[in-house]
Structure 1
């Protein structure tokens, strides 16, 4: 493309997602004195969505002593000392954008490190940031990056970032990370106050509120305006660990639910019953746009502003066959920011990012008419067979039954004539399929904010004498807010990969506050098990884990507690028996309780529970590191202890364990397979579930 045409193309691209265009080229040496003043930029600096010749730079410069900083100079250099500045331009933080600004710096060289800073009219400079451009599409070097999710600084510390920074600094330059993929829950909109609730799930509640206009829901505050969301982003980005990580690497981000509302779908919120909140969805999108530098589309005309649509909070109506409401206010709100996109990293990686919240139908298992099928007495579990019938509706293979067997009764099937549920919506699903089939990258990596790997156990096989009645003849699913609550579309997508011969696909997942590695199959036993892709789920940065929730909620003397928690007879900390349950079945858990020996537990393992899982830790915190080469995808989980204290020293917090899996590339007709290639550390009922087997 000629240089002039390329410049026009980049200018149009910059305007499309609200960024000023800065072209790299010969730059005269600056004449004014620049002094460090990071306190004037309290949320630091960041970069996002790098391409081979461009990257987005971001900062926030609020007024100081009632005076705004006016236009800022943004400088980009090939060295940390800014002796070789390659781009310099002016950008202006706007009050309408909460004093944030972003610039698209273009004309850069591929596969290079650059340093950048923002300077106000007084010569006061932000901290220095470092970013990287993507390599060209023909660059065969291995791609190296980290992925993370779920950072709740209200209930913990983001110290895994500190360990990530320290470990990366110790590696040779060629083995260092080049970007961080954030898979959602960058913030948590649910705010606890230590004045009202000093502790939660064993964690000390940290003060980040109160929200300027927030509403009370029980013991929490939740946003009601864009000012509330902005307050939360400001608090999170003042955290030193998050801020340092954003300054060191470009971040590529998607959202999950907490950037808007817990367990949201489309523009609905669910704090105390599902209700429409189109105005709040637009406010959440605006704050995300203002604080997360990304190449997204929507109501972002102009250089620096999100233009929120004028919407009213109206009941959702006019649903299509995928459960998407075409009510005008809902459509305006959910389309005001569209984050699905694809980014290439050399010859080996195409990142395909989807929005798993804005276009999803209400999960069938969570509808009011599904209430008779709610499982009671088995915390966090749902009946897999009932969920599959309810979700598929009239599209259930073999036909929808008039009744569903549950709790010893034949209950009417309320979804017999309904359409199947959809996580993505028709338009986004078609886009995803086209990206998967059309990609020329060696690895198609789907940035998927919620998981597809089944977390299930065989409650139907409870040992005799346990005083509990599982209401179904089939397995129990741990949670239905992810793809396991949308099994028809999940099966459709995995069968699509199989039918189209698409290979070397892996999903990278957050949300679950757990580490998982495994293979994805359209079905599991007793149906045919035929893997078509792989999945890696990263533990949370700081949000309490599923294991912590169980520790806080379940007494050890309950009949079902052995399938969740294990206390060794010799004493010591409670251990996550729930890992054993989802990998080997409930009888293994009760055998462990009886003898305390993992060997005895594995001896009664049910091999049909989880042939797809290579690793599970429902108590894990930390991050994951990916190395994608032509021959294989390697994913290492770096787990840290519960982040209940601030960082101590350069490493932040100690290592709990690390475990790495290798996924060799495969061809059509071959079956993907996972190999455990290394592990380090000690983690009861985590690592030894394989080492002892």
Structure 2
């Protein structure tokens, strides 16, 4: 296998019709008055803003604004039914929702080679405040989005309302949790991967059958990935969440192919000679459909996604990519007692990203250093016996990487390290330990894990005390198998995390409630539970797990796609 730890630009493979030449559709920011768009020879004849609007990657004086034009989002060619010509798009940013105080205007070209997506990189805005934005094409005006700039570099700013989410499988349920998240008016949203899924319909199913279907075949081509992104972006609940706040996005596996690792696809024993072309297509479509800066424009099969976002003095967000540079999963993937897991030469981040992260720890002066990443960080031993049976797809499969990162934040004197995680379709809260095999060892950090938005269907309420993993691993402090998201409130003195859940996703309109609340105090590593909503016995029965079950070498209550 090619070495995933070498330089990021090591590859020479390029797609011939890609973004390799630059960020097509990226705006040149213009000061008022608005730039005059070129005359249009033909009218679109319908509203092109069917995919909504979004913003992302905020800093203290700017943010990225995004939209993509589509007349027919599910068009099989992935081009949204748009004409094969440049379409001028005007944009506005205002200090108020009614656009009475417009502070910036400009124009940008939506180009067919970029699927008529646009990225406007703004600067020169005031720090630490809300703005509203919209786009215009001909007589059509987009929905209004709200965004927010980060506080000034040397300011803590007010409390940060940050939500994080992962794993939205369109077929398994409705995206109600996105709607409920939007209703909480967050300042920032982190999406930690599995924003979309690659399968054709009736491939990844839940008991009782999927509630809606993917259009098109399994995503393997640029047209397919563009179509799939458009289908997801057509969901009004997802649109509401994007319009509510700026997002920081990173991918996991399903944006490309289940359990891919660097240049290795899911099942390497089955040849997939066009996998690198598939990867390049997925990267290109991902950029086109996300509010990312031009530093993330893909170059063939390479894409710079790991990056740092500073939220004043309050927090540094280190957004990681644990897919593009990892060694292949050991022992055939899955839960294993695997010697490769402890091989010191293996990496989940690659050498360059690891060095970048350790440098970030040394340079950080933030009160909170937050790792936004994909897969479970703390150890999860699945066997109460002497064997250690852990997931080869998570950091447990790359123990040396985890030890180097943990030692890095300890050596750097990071004040409050917090790892945020998605992937596993359940809520978890964990203490991070210096030695997971010694329950009395020092607690050195905290991990919060968000359940899925919809993947796995409704899920079920559960009593954390009955879960086998928590009995085997005392540093794992909380578990719940319903769908939802995590809503945090970050101040200089604490990070409070509300684990939000909905009772169902297989029909729309579910209410949301807080299942549990944990607090991480400044300079006190580890999670402290302050609230747990009792299990509703009338709605969901809980089955206790017997001591005999603890020795089973199976994953209990997990819904991760194998």
TM-score by length of 1: 0.67
| Residues 234-279 of structure 1 deviation map (CA, whole Å, 9 limit, x = unaligned) | 0000001001111121111001111111000012211574656111
Contact map agreement 2:499 2:516 (CA 8 A) in 1: yes
Aligned residue among 657, 662, 669 for 2:519: 662
Contact map agreement 2:54 2:291 (CA 8 A) in 1: yes
Q: Distance in 1 between matches of 2:474 and 2:214?
A: 43
1:62 maps to 70
1:178 maps to 187
Relative to 1, partners in 2 of residues 1:485 and 1:18: Cα closer, same or farther, differing over 3 Å?
farther
1:353 maps to 319
1:634 maps to 496
Contact map agreement 2:430 2:446 (CA 8 A) in 1: yes
Contact map agreement 1:185 1:255 (CA 8 A) in 2: yes
Aligned residue among 133, 137, 142 for 2:159: 142
Q: Which has the higher helix share?
A: 1
Contact map agreement 1:151 1:540 (CA 8 A) in 2: yes
Aligned residue among 470, 473, 491 for 1:583: 470
Q: Which has the higher contact order (CA 8 A, sep 6+)?
A: 2
Aligned residue among 332, 343, 349 for 1:366: 332
2:284 maps to 286
Unaligned segments of structure 2, at least 5 residues: 1-21, 38-44, 73-80, 545-562
2:378 maps to 453
**Match runs of 1:93-492 below 5 Å:** 93-120=110-137, 122-140=138-156, 141-166=158-183, 168=184, 176-193=185-202, 200-211=206-217, 222-271=218-267, 273=269, 275=272, 277-295=275-293, 297=295, 300=297, 309=300, 333=301, 335=302, 337-366=303-332, 381-383=335-337, 387=338, 389-393=339-343, 395=344, 420-460=345-385, 473-477=386-390, 479-492=391-404
Contact map agreement 2:364 2:414 (CA 8 A) in 1: no
| Residues 34-85 of structure 1 deviation map (CA, whole Å, 9 limit, x = unaligned) | xxx9942111111111111111111112368865672011111111212211
Relative to 1, partners in 2 of residues 1:127 and 1:459: Cα closer, same or farther, differing over 3 Å?
same
2:507 maps to 645
Q: Distance in 1 between matches of 2:515 and 2:313?
A: 28
Q: Distance in 2 between matches of 1:285 and 1:208?
A: 20
Q: Distance in 2 between matches of 1:611 and 1:268?
A: 35
Q: Distance in 2 between matches of 1:355 and 1:101?
A: 24
How many residue pairs were aligned? 503
Partner of 2:186: helix, strand, or coil? Answer: coil
Deviation at 1:504, TM superposition (A): 0.5
Over the aligned positions, Cα root-mean-square deviation in angstroms equals 3.0
Deviation at 1:620, TM superposition (A): 2.6
Deviation at 1:582, TM superposition (A): 0.7
Relative to 1, partners in 2 of residues 1:296 and 1:360: Cα closer, same or farther, differing over 3 Å?
farther
Relative to 1, partners in 2 of residues 1:159 and 1:533: Cα closer, same or farther, differing over 3 Å?
same
Q: Distance in 1 between matches of 2:358 and 2:237?
A: 37
Q: Distance in 2 between matches of 1:104 and 1:66?
A: 24
TM-score by length of 2: 0.82
Q: Distance in 2 between matches of 1:434 and 1:534?
A: 20
Unaligned segments of structure 1, at least 5 residues: 1-14, 31-36, 169-175, 212-221, 301-305, 310-332, 368-379, 396-419, 461-472, 549-572, 585-608, 648-652
| Residues 371-403 of structure 1 deviation map (CA, whole Å, 9 limit, x = unaligned) | xxxxxxxxx6423xxx2x32333x4xxxxxxxx
1:316 maps to none
Deviation at 1:139, TM superposition (A): 2.2
2:40 maps to none
Relative to 1, partners in 2 of residues 1:118 and 1:28: Cα closer, same or farther, differing over 3 Å?
closer
| Residues 334-389 of structure 1 deviation map (CA, whole Å, 9 limit, x = unaligned) | x2x1101000112211100111000000122327xxxxxxxxxxxx6423xxx2x3
Relative to 1, partners in 2 of residues 1:640 and 1:431: Cα closer, same or farther, differing over 3 Å?
same
Contact map agreement 1:17 1:296 (CA 8 A) in 2: no
Following superposition, which runs of at least 4 residues in structure 1 exceed 6 angstroms of deviation? 15-18, 26-30, 684-689
Partner of 1:488: helix, strand, or coil? Answer: helix
Q: Distance in 2 between matches of 1:89 and 1:536?
A: 40
Greater shift, 513-522 or 675-684, is seen at 675-684
Q: Distance in 1 between matches of 2:408 and 2:517?
A: 28
Report the structure number with the largest CA radius of gyration: 1
Partner of 1:616: helix, strand, or coil? Answer: strand
